[in-house]
Amino acid sequence: MSEIKVRAQYEQLADIYDLRWRKYINNTLTFLYSWEQIDSQSTVLDVACGTGEFERLLLDQNPMQRITGVDISEKMLDIARKKYRVYSNVEFHQTSATSLPFASHSFDVAVCANAFHYFEQPLVALSEIKRVIKPNGKLIILDWSKDFLVCRICDWILQIFDPAHQQCYTQKELHQLLISADFKINRAAMVRFGVIWGLMAVTALPNN
As a whole number, mean pLDDT of residues 46-51 equals 96
Give the count of domains, the chain: 1
Using CA atoms, how far residue 110 sits from 9, 127, 141, 144, 169, in Å, is 24, 12, 8, 18, 20
pLDDT digits (tens, 9 = 90+) for 62-80: 999 999 999 999 999 999 9
**Torsion over CA of 79, 73, 29 and 53, rounded to 10 degrees?**
-10
> What is the structure's pLDDT at 151?
79
Residue 153 sits in a domain whose CATH number is 3.40.50.150
Angle at 110 between CA 105 and CA 115, to 5 degrees: 135
Say whether pLDDT at 53 is over 70.
yes
In this prediction, residues 84-88 reach a mean pLDDT of 97
Confidence of residue 185 (pLDDT cuts 50, 70, 90): very high
Domain that holds residue 110: 1-206
Q: What is the C-alpha separation between 63 and 56, in angstroms, rounded?
A: 9
- pLDDT range class, residue 161, cuts 50, 70, 90: confident
